[in-house]
Amino acid sequence: MSKHTAEVIIIGGGVNGCAAAYYLAKAGMKDVIVLEGSPSIGHGGSSRNGGGVRQSGRDVRELPLVMYGIRNLWPTLSEELEVDCEYHQDGNLRLGKTEKHREILTRLADSARNVGLDVRMIDGDEVRAINPYLSDEVICASWCPTDGHANPLTTTLGYYKMARRLGVTFITGEPVTELRVIKGKIRQVITPNHVYEGENVLVAAGLDSREILTTVGIDIPMTNSLLECLVTEAQPHMFDQMLGTAEADFYGHQTKHGSFVFGGSSGLERYNKDNGTPVNSSKTAPCICRGIMKYFPDLANAKIVRTWAGWMDASSDGVPSLGTVDEIPGLYVACAFNGHGFGIAPAVGEQLAKLIVTGKTDVDLGELHYDRYKAKI
């Protein structure tokens, strides 16, 4: 007979839900249930993304949390989870080919430095000194030496495995349809099959979070945005840095196995024709390939062995919603990550677990609180 009551119910078995479950159990709160609507853990973007663990190019409101995770959690995560997360901290080049790109990158770098991030602008010659495979079209880049990348699938499953070992219950194929407030406090989580009861509920269900939260009158403005990734056949080792572009049209890195993982968007995703499958688009992968060839001529003949695509949860203001819901005691949210949820997940999971257990966090989450969307009268 499956378990239907817990101290904490987490909705969403992606990397953020699994991380929160692990850190809750590590803190001694082992009476935790994770409900995942799909048939498997990490089914969505958590295991299908470019693997970036980066600070550069982010909104300054989320930088303190990202910087905390990279400083305190990522360096020892493989040892803690007893799995190879394939974490490499070899820096991030965000590339520019035009003066417009230089302006974008300079603005982002200046704002990040103001909150303490080690990032600086470099010219084309210095870019190619770091990565000699880049074309002469690159005239500048922002360089953040503490950025890196990791394997999203092994990291997600590592959190899942360790949380289970510590006593967390995971139930897949259990989509949540409704939340219920009883006597002014969150209390019940409804699925087509069961009614679950918990003292605390964390909604970390990606794009589905909005529909779930509206059942208790909470509406976080976010929408879907399609991103696509592609994987090349294995290549000889070329470089270890994470790469991106000024306008984020593509990003990626070379894995420990030699293949390249690139992700991006074309700006035409809403106009794609239906290819008969929910995982590929008609425009994005070819667009990414054309961009890669312009930046990396040596990859022009690399074969693409697979692609995948999916909807990310994009917020109206570009940063996630994290923390408590003041109107409903016991309700917490972690959603609208704008495609940046993987790299920030260890910090999100650890800090939300501390918030649930102690009522406090080490990092101020105030600027990411959902109440920023309330009408200002």
pLDDT score recorded for residue 80: 98
Contact 237, 298 (CB under 8 A): no
CA distance 13 to 176: 12
Max Cα distance, the chain (Å): 65
The per-residue pLDDT string of the chain (377 residues; one tens digit each, 9 = 90 and over) reads 467 999 999 999 999 999 999 999 999 998 999 999 999 998 877 777 788 999 998 999 999 999 999 999 999 999 999 999 999 999 999 999 999 999 999 999 999 999 999 999 999 999 999 999 999 999 999 999 999 999 999 999 999 999 999 999 999 999 999 999 999 999 999 999 999 999 999 999 999 999 999 999 999 999 888 778 888 999 999 999 999 998 877 888 999 999 999 887 766 656 665 554 545 555 667 777 777 888 889 988 889 888 877 778 889 999 999 999 999 999 999 999 988 899 999 999 999 999 999 999 999 999 999 999 887 66
pLDDT score recorded for residue 269: 58
Is residue 353, in this structure, part of any structural domain at all?
yes
pLDDT score recorded for residue 9: 98
Is residue 67, in this structure, part of any structural domain at all?
no
The range of the structural domain enclosing residue 178 comes to 5-50+153-221+317-372
CA distance 353 to 367: 18
Q: Are strands 5-11 and 32-35 parallel, antiparallel or unpaired?
A: parallel
Is residue 326, in this structure, part of any structural domain at all?
yes
Q: What ranges make up the beta strands (E) of 233-275?
A: 242-245, 250-254, 260-264
- Domain ends where: 315, 330, 359? 315
pLDDT score recorded for residue 154: 95
For residue 252, the tally of other CB atoms under 10 A from its CB is 24
160 in the same domain as 142: no
171 in the same domain as 205: yes
Assign residue 286 a region (left: φ > 0; alpha: ψ between -120 and 50; beta: otherwise): alpha
Tally of domains within the chain: 2
pTM for the model stands at: 0.93
178 in the same domain as 305: no
110 in the same domain as 25: no
Q: What is the CATH number of the domain that holds 192?
A: 3.50.50.60
